Amino acid sequence: MRKLFLSMFAVSALAAGLSAGCTAQAAEVNVYSGREENLIKPVLDRFTAQTGIKVNLITAGADELTTRLELEGANSPADLLLTVDVGRLLRAKEMGLLQAVDSDVLESQIPAQYRDSEGEWFGVSLRSRVVVYDKERVNPAQLSTYEDLADPKWKGKICIRSSSNIYNQSMTAAMISHHGVEETEAWAKGLVANFARQPQGGDRDQIAAVAIGQCELAIVNTYYLAGMINATSAEQREQATKVAVFWPNQQDRGAHINISGAGLSAHAPNRSEAIQLLEFLVSDESQTWYAEANNEFPVRAGVPVSATLQSWGEFKADSLPLEQLGIHNAEAVRVMDRAGWR
């Protein structure tokens, strides 16, 4: 019996020992990142190399991290919250989890449309949600707008992922802010009626489905196609050659845009280091890296984009203030529920 208690004790001591990490004295900054480790660590490592500031990282879904930040409260170690869409940043702001940053660098480098008017969050890279079409079967002259995708002429031809996906929620939220709830619901119903199959898989799966002929159009984020064009798998590269990008709504509001961005935590223990990191994220070096390695569009004007993105040409982006996407997110989910968009 005593042996069992002893081993129990030893185990708890072991567990306690395991937990006694990260108490370094040197300058550091703690990041809660909704972006996966391999898509952010290289930039953070460069930041450490340049400034000597150590970056501690936890990656998880932005919603989970926001919940953790909220529950940890005033004692939370988090300095920066990084997310891959604006809706989550706005939600964090509404929950009072962020604080305003007053930085000339951030304000001069990031266009006003891509940051919070009160300085609580900042976009660091851009992505667009576009139409990808089968080069063989679709005449791009028939394509025009997101709104047009609900037209019965596309019946049984459209592939798109589940409405649980945040990018679809943001796209629908943008629609609500342009056209109102009723018109958006009618649009969503029309779109659902045009689905070639029940929503499933990710964006790459939609592109592959177009390539093999299950559907003619897919609605996807730009970097997924760029990722397939540059994939290690020969099969994905082959599939990518069969499709082309169409930028919707070029005659009116422009293509739907979302950001990946960051905000300073309300109780950040390492405030100045965190602001330094934020500024580093919009530096020439990081912006070029985002563009090259992740095939995202830089948030700053004048930074060159990757060759793949260049090949798709210039496009007009929707100038809707991104706050709108967050404001309408919950309503967008309800609209999609009612439209039967799985």
Partner 1 sequence: MGKHGSLLAIFVLCVLLSVPVLTIFSSVFDSSDGVWQHLVDTLLWSYIVQSLQLMLGVGVLVLLLGVAPAWLVTMTRFPGSRWLEWALVLPLAMPAYIIAYTYTGMLDVAGPVQGFIRDTFDMRFGDYWFPQIRSTGGAITMLSLVLYPYIYLLSRMAFLEQSVCVLEVSRTLGASPWQAFSRVAVPLARPAIMAGLALVLMETLADYGTVQYFGISSFTAGIFRTWFGMGSATAAAQLSAVLMLFILALVIAEQWSRNRARYHHTSTRYSQLPQLKLTGWKMAGALVYCLVPVLFGFIIPFLQLAWWAWDTRALVDFSAFSQLIINSLRLAFTAALIALILGMFISYAKRLQPGMPMRTATRVLGLGYAVPGTVIAVGVLIPFAWFDNSLDAWMRAQFGISTGLLMSGTLIAVVFAYIVRFLPVAMNTMDAGLGKIKPSMDDAGRSMGLGPFQILRRIHIPMLKGSLLTAALLVFVDVLKELPATLILRPFNFNTLAIRTYELANQERLTEAAASALMIVLAGIIPVIIISLSISASRPGHDKRA
Pick one of 98, 211, 218, 317: the residue that binds partner 1 (CB under 8 A).
Answer: 211
Q: How far apart are CA 244 and CA 134, in angstroms?
A: 7
- Provide Rg for the chain, Cα atoms: 22
CA-based diameter of the chain, in Å?
80
CB 123, min distance to partner 1, A = 20
Kindly state whether residue 67 participates in binding partner 1, applying the rule CB under 8 A.
Answer: yes
Pick one of 27, 58, 105, 327: the residue that binds partner 1 (CB under 8 A).
Answer: 58
Pick one of 116, 120, 203, 279: the residue that binds partner 1 (CB under 8 A).
Answer: 203
Work out whether strand 54-59 and strand 98-99 pair parallel, antiparallel, or are unpaired: unpaired
Pick one of 25, 139, 233, 251: the residue that binds partner 1 (CB under 8 A).
Answer: 233
Kindly state whether residue 342 participates in binding partner 1, applying the rule CB under 8 A.
Answer: yes
Residue 285 pairs in a beta bridge with none
Alpha carbon 90 to chain centroid, angstroms = 13
CB 98, min distance to partner 1, A = 15
The closest alpha carbon to 158, from 179, 131, 124, belongs to 131
Pick one of 43, 59, 121, 263: the residue that binds partner 1 (CB under 8 A).
Answer: 59
Collapsed DSSP state (helix, strand, coil) of residue 134 = strand
Q: How far apart are CA 234 and CA 128, in angstroms?
A: 25
Kindly state whether residue 319 participates in binding partner 1, applying the rule CB under 8 A.
Answer: no
Alpha-carbon distance values, 102 to 107, 113, 117 (Å): 8, 17, 11
Q: How far apart are CA 276 and CA 53, in angstroms?
A: 10
Q: How far apart are CA 266 and CA 287, in angstroms?
A: 26
Q: Which runs of E-coded beta strand occur in 135-235?
A: 158-159, 217-221
Residue 81 pairs in a beta bridge with 32, 263
User: Binding string, 19-48, against partner 1, x = CB under 8 A?
Assistant: x-xx-------x-----xxxx---------
Kindly state whether residue 329 participates in binding partner 1, applying the rule CB under 8 A.
Answer: yes
**Nearer Cβ to partner 1, position 8 or 307?**
8
Q: How far apart are CA 148 and CA 191, in angstroms?
A: 9
Pick one of 43, 208, 282, 291: the residue that binds partner 1 (CB under 8 A).
Answer: 208
Pick one of 115, 204, 256, 328: the residue that binds partner 1 (CB under 8 A).
Answer: 204
Work out whether strand 122-134 and strand 217-221 pair parallel, antiparallel, or are unpaired: antiparallel
Number of residues in contact with partner 1, rule: CB under 8 A? 69
Kindly state whether residue 232 participates in binding partner 1, applying the rule CB under 8 A.
Answer: yes
CB 57, min distance to partner 1, A = 6
Q: Residue 4 is encoded by which pair of tokens?
A: 């069992």
User: Binding string, 119-148, against partner 1, x = CB under 8 A?
Assistant: ------------------------------
Q: Residue 94 is encoded by which pair of tokens?
A: 């509404």
CB 232, min distance to partner 1, A = 6
Pick one of 142, 214, 250, 288: the residue that binds partner 1 (CB under 8 A).
Answer: 214
Residue 319 pairs in a beta bridge with none
Q: Which residues make up the interface to partner 1 (CB under 8 A)?
A: 1, 4, 7-8, 11-12, 14-16, 18-19, 21-22, 30, 36-39, 56-61, 63-65, 67-68, 71-77, 91, 161-162, 164, 166, 169, 198-205, 208-209, 211-214, 224, 227, 232-233, 235, 239, 329-330, 333-334, 337-338, 342
